[in-house]
Structure 1
Amino acid sequence: MKQAFILRGLPGSGKTHYAYALADELVAGDETQFIICSTDDYFHNEQGEYHFEKFRLPEYHNLNLARFINALAEGIPLVIADNTNIKRWEFVAYTSAAQAMGYQVKEVIVGEVKDKSMQHLYAKRNTHGVALRTISKMAYMFEW
């Protein structure tokens, strides 16, 4: 059975960790059997350093969606979208594409969105330097 997972959650909530754990559980981490599509990947330079550039976000989101759709078209058994997906419109194209290609789709909210103490933890542990203020704003805007 082909599966697509749409991860949602605040920066630092553990989405990427969850994605790799899911791949381990469902396909024993066999890299030929899964792909994790994250817009964050596009912000890494050749040395592997992360440099966020807000003006590139729309471009990189489009590239990530294209990568996701290409993975579906290739029939990769497990395709995971690893983005914050705060608003529903941010991930509806992922869901629609996966359903159209015959994938079973599951939306997973990783972490506690509204818990203020968890937001503080996420601000401390996210690897991209997203400030607590931004995380709290994202939590406020989160659509269920």
Structure 2
Amino acid sequence: MKQVFILRGLPGSGKTNYAHNLADDLVAGDSSQYVICSTDDYFVGAEGYQFDKHKLPEYHNLNLARFIKALSEGIPLVIADNTNIKKWEFIAYIEAAHALGYQVKEVIVGEIKDKAMQHLYAQRNTHNVALRTIAKMAYQFEW
């Protein structure tokens, strides 16, 4: 069975760890059997992670293209690892997956509304997303 998982959650909630653990559980970490598509990957260069908000639309489009390519190649497990706060942000992923015969599961990682967890996420996220931004994202989260 071909599967897609759409991960959703605040920065620092553990989406990337969840994605890798899921791949380990479902395909024993066999890298030929899965692809994790994260827009964050495009911000990593020789100097490490360098976020540039002006590049975000371009990188989201590149990530969607990588996702669709993995689907078209028939990769058994494809995971979209982005915050996906608003539903419009991941609807194209769902539509592409359904069009190519994949079963889709949406997974919310972490606690969205819990203020204590938001503080934890602000401390542990690797992209220096401030608590104020995380709280705003939690407020805007669409269920």
Normalized against structure 1, the TM-score is what?
0.98
- Which aligned runs of 4 or more in structure 1 are off by greater than 3 angstroms? none
Name the residue aligned to 1:136. Answer: 135
Deviation string 1:56-90 (CA, Å, 9 cap, x unpaired) is: 00000000000000000000000000000000000
Deviation string 1:29-50 (CA, Å, 9 cap, x unpaired) is: 0000000000000000135x00
Q: Which amino acid aligns with 1:92?
A: I
Name the residue aligned to 2:70. Answer: 71
Q: CA RMSD in A?
A: 0.5
Separation in 1, partners of 2:37, 2:65: 10
SS in 1 for 2:49: coil
Q: Which amino acid aligns with 2:130?
A: A
Unaligned runs of 5+ residues in structure 1 are none
Name the residue aligned to 1:113. Answer: 112
Deviation string 1:90-123 (CA, Å, 9 cap, x unpaired) is: 0000001001100000000000000000000000
SS in 2 for 1:20: helix
Q: Which amino acid aligns with 1:120?
A: H
Name the residue aligned to 1:36. Answer: 36
Identity across the alignment (%): 78
Unaligned runs of 5+ residues in structure 2 are none
